[in-house]
Structure 1
Amino acid sequence: MSYRTVGQAPDITCEVCGAVVRGQAIRGGCVVERCERCGHLERDLERCPADHRDLAYGGEPTLDRIRLGLTYRELVRDGVPGRVFEVGYGSGSMLRRFLDDGARVGGVDPDQLGIGVDEVVRERGDLRVGGIEDTSGLPGDQDLVYGIHVLEHVVDPHAALRSSLELLRPGGTASFLTPAGDSSGVERYGAAWWMLEDPTHVRFFTADSLARAAEAAGFVDVEVRRLLLDSLSVDAASVARAVRPGPRPRGVLASRAVLAGAVASIPVVLAERALRPRSRPTLQLLARRP
């Protein structure tokens, strides 16, 4: 990536690897804090504001259902795990899929979105309210612990990953999806990049920093992938933010015109992602407890 370095106090270090962090100006006047070693991005809202949205959620329900379906297929590609735990379960939609397929489910969520939880999941799942970093007494016998776009929000990603490790049985698997701070979208769209629209996105892992964080938490067999099919609306939403900036309390995808553009652009987006993997905006961490 090509950035312009701006003023930064010399004693600020990367939350992942401890190397020097520099303020980097990206297109549109936004400044992010970038690690010189692993490329990890941290975000101060005063230097890189969300501007257009005040809510934590700014997606679109139909697109989210499609994304959850694709993600579920990825999570069960080796079979449905017996015990599953979701970090940030939201409405419980994903847990309901696991439950319907015979898994025992649990999860933790700070109720950040204030949305209703599926009644069947609420009745039959082991659900906790709070953050994964500070919730104690959780069962440590899970086959799968996962989180879908969670690590970019948490207060302490190291504590979140360590707690996730402790939830797993020996040999159990963790899977986390998170926006890619080293995707080409950061340079292409700058401050208009849709992942910056959410004011609670306080960090963006790179493939390097995500692998480092997982290994530091004690995981083994760490693999980081760039997902082809996740967040297919990012490019259209980013273009819309760049072309017509302005307040959108519900987020740019609340616009039917932007949503239609996102759907129409999918073939082009998929072609570019196939040819240029770095254009994919989502990383998937796969790792195992020893």
Structure 2
Amino acid sequence: MSDETKPTERIAALRPGYQADLAAGLDRFFEPRRTTCPWCGSDRLTTRLRTTDLLQHKPGRFVLDRCEGCGHTFQNPRLSPEGLEFYYRDFYDGLGEKKLGDTFGGRTGMYRGRAESMLPHDPEPKTWLDVGTGHGHFCAAAREVLPGTTFDGLDFTDGVELAEREGRVERGHRGSFPELAPELAGRYDVVSMFHYLEHSTDPDRELRAAKEAVRPGGHLLIEVPDPQSRYARLLGRWWLPWLQPQHLHFVPVANLRERLADLGFTVVAEQHAEPHDPVDLLAAVWLALDHMAPRDDAPWLPEPPNALRRTLRGALLVAGIPALIAGTLLDRFAVRPLSHRLGVSNAYRLVARRD
């Protein structure tokens, strides 16, 4: 079997299973709609965004509501366990494993910056747990910054087992962080959550698990999308960090600082410019082009695209290359140096010490 035919045959093999899932209907993929905010309990909810799956193009429509009481934005109705399994399937693993692995593996500079953000607060941590580690690429890069630190990883996918086999983490813990936290209690100088909380069904429970795993005097390092970014409003559904339907919660920085204080943490650093990933305009152009173009083959489509549709897709994407280049240049050279001043930083990072 040649490399060129493998993807086509894998998609064909998966198609019957996906079609059976879809034939049963989408309603079971969603929980009942909430009438109160999951962060503060207020019933003052407004709709912030309606969108579709702009990355995998799996069927379904998704709504993000905003609490007018505390500013928390959340998916409503939220995906059910069956929905989480369906929409995560073949994204980080399966069909998407190599593509995502290559993407994450090529971001060494960003990973080093994340590790360096700990240096002013603990330049020589002995033990570090990266929650939501994926394939462990952060840990491999961070070891170059902190060679005396032992890095463990935790994730609910089999990527963490791959990370351990590849030597990117010393030990890989697979499963739910809140459920594993008791056996990890007080074991770590640093616990990191990089773009993890937004995926969680219960961010508060994850924060309490982090408190359990961090030793007294240790640190919790959190990075999440910033729902107060101006790009979130200007780009609308084309703002990549919305990432529907996988991102369930968007926590304003003031809310997270307050919750950490309630749990017995002191925030010792807040960063906005440093965690900004300069891809917003490029990603918006790509998402729009990909949305307009005929679909690429995928097992959740009833049949593969014909030759004409493949040709039309290729032609549209080629025509969009100048816009993609322009978006890249603006992101990296015009916006990035001013991202925090302009209020468009797409993420924020907090370093908190457990008292």
Whether the TM-score (by the shorter chain) exceeds 0.5 is yes
Measure the CA separation in 1 of the matches of 2:113 and 2:327. Answer: 17
Q: Aligned in 2, Cα 1:94/1:271: closer, same or farther, shift over 3 Å?
A: closer
Structure 1 position 19 matched with structure 2 position 63: no
Q: After superposition, where does 1:77-116 map in structure 2 within 5 Å?
A: 77-78=120-121, 79-99=123-143, 101-111=147-157, 116=162
> What amino acid does structure 2 have at the position aligned with 1:67?
M
1:32 maps to what in 2?
Answer: 64
Measure the CA separation in 1 of the matches of 2:207 and 2:329. Answer: 37
Contact 2:253–2:348 (CA<8 Å) still a contact in 1? Answer: yes
1:272 to partner: Cα distance: 3.6
Contact 2:33–2:77 (CA<8 Å) still a contact in 1? Answer: no
Compare the two structures and name the one with the higher helix fraction. Answer: 2
1:17 to partner: Cα distance: 2.1
1:134 to partner: Cα distance: 1.7
Structure 1 position 125 matched with structure 2 position 166: no
- Higher mean alpha-carbon deviation, 159-168 vs 192-201, is at 192-201
1:4 maps to what in 2?
Answer: none
> What amino acid does structure 2 have at the position aligned with 1:225?
Q
1:158 to partner: Cα distance: 0.9
Q: After superposition, where does 1:271-282 map in structure 2 within 5 Å?
A: 271-276=337-342, 278-282=343-347
1:31 to partner: Cα distance: 4.0
Same amino acid, percent of matched pairs = 22
1:144 to partner: Cα distance: 0.9
Q: Aligned in 2, Cα 1:112/1:44: closer, same or farther, shift over 3 Å?
A: farther
1:173 to partner: Cα distance: 0.7
Match of 1:200 among 242, 246, 250: 246
Q: Aligned in 2, Cα 1:95/1:219: closer, same or farther, shift over 3 Å?
A: same
Deviation digits for residues 164-189 of structure 1 (CA, Å, limit 9, x no counterpart): 11111111110111111111111111
Secondary structure of 1:170 counterpart = strand
Match of 1:264 among 329, 345, 348: 329
> What amino acid does structure 2 have at the position aligned with 1:55?
F
Q: After superposition, where does 1:232-251 map in structure 2 within 5 Å?
A: 232-242=278-288, 245-246=291-292, 247=295
TM-score, normalising length: structure 1: 0.79
For structure 1, which runs of at least 5 residues remain unmatched after alignment? 1-8
1:107 to partner: Cα distance: 2.4
Which structure has the bigger radius of gyration? 2
Measure the CA separation in 1 of the matches of 2:34 and 2:201. Answer: 20
> What amino acid does structure 2 have at the position aligned with 1:267?
F
Contact 2:226–2:346 (CA<8 Å) still a contact in 1? Answer: yes
Question: How large is the Cα RMSD of the aligned pairs?
Answer: 3.5
Measure the CA separation in 2 of the matches of 1:28 and 1:169. Answer: 41
Deviation digits for residues 186-241 of structure 1 (CA, Å, limit 9, x no counterpart): 11111111112342111111112222332333322365432345321123202332
Measure the CA separation in 2 of the matches of 1:116 and 1:170. Answer: 31
1:42 maps to what in 2?
Answer: 74
1:279 to partner: Cα distance: 0.7
Q: After superposition, where does 1:95-244 map in structure 2 within 5 Å?
A: 95-99=139-143, 101-111=147-157, 116-117=162-163, 119=165, 121=167, 125-135=170-180, 136-221=182-267, 223-242=269-288
TM-score, normalising length: structure 2: 0.66
For structure 2, which runs of at least 5 residues remain unmatched after alignment? 1-31, 53-61, 80-86, 299-316
Q: Aligned in 2, Cα 1:289/1:194: closer, same or farther, shift over 3 Å?
A: same
Contact 1:182–1:205 (CA<8 Å) still a contact in 2? Answer: no
1:289 to partner: Cα distance: 0.8
Contact 1:11–1:20 (CA<8 Å) still a contact in 2? Answer: no
> What amino acid does structure 1 have at the position aligned with 2:172?
L
- Higher mean alpha-carbon deviation, 108-117 vs 22-31, is at 22-31
The alignment of Structure 1 onto Structure 2 pairs a total of residues equal to 273
Measure the CA separation in 2 of the matches of 1:138 and 1:242. Answer: 44
